[in-house]
Amino acid sequence: MMSPVTDENIEHWLNMLFGHSEPGDAVHRMMTATADPTGEVTVSVTGIAPQAPEVTGMHPDVFVKRGVKDSIDRAAAGGTILFAALVMEVCAMTDDVSDEVKAEGRRLMVAGNLQLHQQAIEMTQLYAAARDGRRWMAQHRLTGPKAGQIRGPLMFTGPLDAVERGIEQRMIRRAVGL
């Protein structure tokens, strides 16, 4: 029988992955903790650096999703994934902007150019899940009026929160069997 990953391990891994980014960082980090049939746990961290479409032939978001999937597939080949976490460096809009400014931001985001908007900020987002159903989220604002503000990591159990419905979050939950 597989031993569960301890709270101390998870806290260590989350602290290792989150809260150390600087503005301009572009490398996402994917971490998995996998148990082999004997119960030995192996931890791996993969850096995923979005590339220009001219280099990869695909949109940077698609490239990142493929990198996450590949990392999960490699970990699953080594055993059962007990814990998975994804830290992403993203651009978002500042709080308290008009609907018109939000619409302009959405147009730029679809084109992969949100960082060009005057009210865009950089932030680091973490999403993690354990096989036992626990999930964690965190956010670190790197630029903008709330630069330096860190929220989390916060642990969740039970029903999904609305912000957990993204593609990357579903990939992380599926990786651990949720």
- Predicted confidence at residue 134, as pLDDT, reads 94
* Non-local CB neighbours of 100 within 8 Å, separated by 6+ positions: none
- 3 state DSSP class of 176: coil
Backbone angles phi, psi at 2, to 5 degrees: -75, 135
- Per-residue pLDDT tens, the chain, 178 aa: give them: 445 688 899 999 999 888 888 888 888 999 999 999 998 999 999 999 877 778 778 877 888 899 999 999 999 999 999 999 999 988 877 767 788 877 887 787 777 777 777 777 888 999 999 999 999 999 999 988 888 999 989 999 999 988 888 889 999 999 999 9
pLDDT in tens, 119-164: 778 889 999 999 999 999 999 999 888 889 999 899 999 999 888 8
Here the tokens at position 75 are 């970990």
The CB density around residue 94, as the number of other CB atoms within 10 Å, is 17
* Burial profile 5-37: b = 16 or more Cβ within 10 angstroms, e = fewer: beeebbeebbeebbeebeeeeeebbbbbbbbee
